[in-house]
Amino acid sequence: MKKTALLLLMLLVSACNSGETENDAAAINKQEMANQVKAEFVHTWEGYKEYAWGHDDLKPVSNSYHDWYEASLLMTPVDAFDTMVLMGLDEEAAEAKELIFSELDFDQDMYVQNFEITIRLFGGLLSAYQMDGDERFLALAEDLGQRLLPAFDSPTGMPYIDVNLRTGETRKPVNNPAEIGTLMLEFGTLSKLTGDPVYYDKAKKAITEVYNRRSDIGLVGTMINVETGEWTDTSSHISGRIDSYYEYLLKAYLLFGDEDFKTMYDESIKAVNEYLLDRTDTGTWYGYADMNTGERTQTYYGALDAFMAGMLVLGDQVDLAREIQDSNFKMWQLHGIEPESIDYSTMEVAYAAYALRPENIESAFYLYRETGEQQYLEMGKEMFESIVEYCKTESGYAQLADVRTKEQSDAMHSFFLAETLKYSYLLFVDDSVLPLDEYVFNTEAHPLTKTW
């Protein structure tokens, strides 16, 4: 090779190399981000250990604790356990395990909320069993599943809101689609793992009874009486009290391969996109409508609704998911951290609190896994960093009373460790961790997989 040609070649190689270095510098260091998320998890677990050990939740401002009921059900350690396993936090996982097996006792004469106990504890124990392999997790899950089963003993088969863990007595017959339907993955998984179909069948009947009571235009309402089967609130939306009903129709199909769920999801999402989807000057949102007439009643959208983009990815509506995620992020950026809800017609805050919710980051995670696009990593990074900036306390993470003032409130739901930090971590770790064609996350981010 001639001398000049060699020189040119060397110049070209060095230009390419320097370009690569610049790009790398601009790119997000995923490993570093994953390590930061892990460090924040450890910080919070240390706070729980010091101030709330053996209780349900840490109170992160007063450095104290909160129990949901008369006896602690170890909400935080159970909810957080699979995140520890995922992050390779062996010491922390061993501590949590020791606490769970020595203290957790479901034989309590107290009413609990079937839905919350199912998604956090039942789901947490099942995924703990699948990820860790210790049979005692399955035994606890089965004991809990048996105690929750009487909740379904209503004239319609739809469950009551509360059930007494010892006596099986039930109360509160006016329930909602989310609390009725968001039981399918956990009860269904227990059936598959134990070989006893009763759990699957009861949960499937319950969610199907909601679907069967959809209106002529295919929408469901907010509240329904499980004894009479009558709707008591006909407001339709994708927000709290309905949200995960749709999520579980789709995920039950993905996890169990039961075509009935696919039919129910496809029919339902069609109506949701026809009557609730709202493309406006401020973005693409889902609003409120009357379930019978389809008429728009409210233009509220909020932190909980942000799950929708992730669900649409799983339901193969990726373009729509992108539109929704753009709006989700716009909502986040309004005040540097998202409020519980906004009126999207004015972009004014309707409810100013931030409860450390995961849904916005969860959707960024699904879109990143699906598209591999840097923009979703950037969204996740900004959201995670604002949580650290505004919510971190000496012992953990605090909810915000008002996203405009950033005033903190003295509460930290266990889903911060189960979901918010898990989805943040999953966004930055390698795609091969918990691949989405093998794992289905319950609504509390507990990964479930077909080990049966």
Give yes or no: 378 in active site.
Answer: no
Q: Is 189 in the site for ligand DMJ (CB under 6 A)?
A: no
179 or 278: CB nearest ligand DMJ: 179
How many other C-beta atoms lie within 10 A of the C-beta of residue 48?
Answer: 25
In angstroms, rounded to a whole number, what is the distance separating the alpha carbons of residues 387 and 364? 15
Encode 171-182 in three state secondary structure.
Answer: ECCEECHHHHHC
Residue in 57, 92, 247, 340 annotated catalytic: 340
Instruction: Give how many residues touch ligand DMJ by CB under 6 A.
Output: 10
215 or 243: CB nearest ligand DMJ: 243
339 or 358: CB nearest ligand DMJ: 358
Name the minimum Å distance from CB 444 to ligand DMJ: 5
Contact with ligand DMJ (CB under 6 A) among 443, 446, 447, 448? 443
User: How much of the chain is helix, strand and coil, in % rounded to 5?
Assistant: 55, 15, 30
Q: Which residues contact 307 (CB under 8 A, 6 or more apart)?
A: 243, 244, 247, 359, 362, 363
Q: Is 327 in the site for ligand DMJ (CB under 6 A)?
A: no
In the structure encoding, which two tokens stand for residue 253, read together?
């199909």
Give yes or no: 359 in active site.
Answer: yes
Contact with ligand DMJ (CB under 6 A) among 55, 214, 335, 357? 357
Give yes or no: 243 in active site.
Answer: yes
Interior angle at CA 172, CA 250 and CA 219, nearest 5: 35
Residue in 56, 57, 79, 116 annotated catalytic: 116
Site for ligand DMJ in 107-136 (CB under 6 A): 119
Task: Answer for the pair 409, 90: CB distance below 8 angstroms, yes or no.
Answer: no
151 or 215: CB nearest ligand DMJ: 151
Q: Is 282 in the site for ligand DMJ (CB under 6 A)?
A: no
In angstroms, rounded to a whole number, what is the distance separating the alpha carbons of residues 449 and 255? 7
At position 374, the amino acid (one-letter code) is Q
Q: Is 415 in the site for ligand DMJ (CB under 6 A)?
A: yes
Phi then psi for residue 408, to 5 deg, are: -85, 155
Q: Is 241 in the site for ligand DMJ (CB under 6 A)?
A: no
In the structure encoding, which two tokens stand for residue 379, read together?
């969204």
The H or E element that residue 397 is part of is none
Nearest to 61 by CA among 336, 352, 356: 356
Name the minimum Å distance from CB 92 to ligand DMJ: 21
How many other C-beta atoms lie within 10 A of the C-beta of residue 196?
Answer: 14
Stretch that binds ligand DMJ, among 134-142, 167-175, 354-362, 367-375 (CB under 6 A): 354-362
Give yes or no: 230 in active site.
Answer: no
202 or 446: CB nearest ligand DMJ: 446
162 or 282: CB nearest ligand DMJ: 162
Residue in 56, 57, 209, 243 annotated catalytic: 243
Residue in 79, 186, 209, 359 annotated catalytic: 359
Q: Is 284 in the site for ligand DMJ (CB under 6 A)?
A: no
DSSP label of 160: P
Nearest to 351 by CA among 294, 298, 397: 298
Contact with ligand DMJ (CB under 6 A) among 444, 446, 447, 448? 444
How many other C-beta atoms lie within 10 A of the C-beta of residue 267?
Answer: 14
Active site residues: 116, 243, 340, 359
- Binding stretches for ligand DMJ (CB under 6 A): 119, 244, 304, 357-359, 415, 419, 443-444
